[in-house]
């Protein structure tokens, strides 16, 4: 798994690539997210559209980030989960817990209240 990220105002945007299997590579994903959430109180938008396979350990990373977000009264939004991840979310009923949208614009509209201009600025990420 690899990732790219950018930070706009109080929003951490992450884009994940490859397989999310809960291996050492994914530790960087969690630690990066945790640092920005705890220290800078950032909402988190995760673009999952380029993910391959996600197993239960990979899914647990989303759960850990979501739990941390809830504790900080922040939002986590998943963008465009691929079919395999959608099935996993449905089976675990996490599709009822996580906020899931189809596009980056939808995700940004959910978390950007005071700065609507960021919707356009972040669209190029």
Three-class SS of residue 32?
helix
Domains, the chain, in order of start with CATH, read 2-122 (3.30.750.24)
At residue 125, the pLDDT reads 52
At residue 118, the pLDDT reads 55
Q: What is the pTM of this model?
A: 0.86
- Average pLDDT value for the chain: 85
Express each pLDDT in 82-102 by its tens digit: 999 999 999 999 999 999 999
* CA nearest to 41, candidates 72, 6, 9, 76: 72
Q: Which residues of the chain have pLDDT under 70?
A: 25, 113-125
């Amino acid at each position: 798994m690899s990732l790219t990220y950018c930070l706009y105002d109080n929003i951490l945007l992450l884009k994940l690539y490859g397989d999310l299997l809960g291996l050492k590579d994914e530790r960087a994903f969690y630690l990066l997210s945790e640092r920005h959430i705890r220290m800078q109180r950032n909402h988190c938008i995760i673009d999952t559209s380029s993910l391959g396979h996600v197993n239960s350990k990979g899914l647990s990373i989303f759960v850990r980030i979501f739990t941390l977000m809830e504790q900080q009264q922040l939002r986590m939004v998943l963008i465009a989960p691929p079919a395999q991840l959608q099935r996993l979310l449905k089976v675990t009923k996490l599709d009822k817990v996580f906020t899931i949208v189809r596009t980056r614009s939808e995700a940004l509209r959910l978390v950007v209240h005071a700065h609507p201009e960021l919707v356009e600025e972040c669209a190029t990420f």
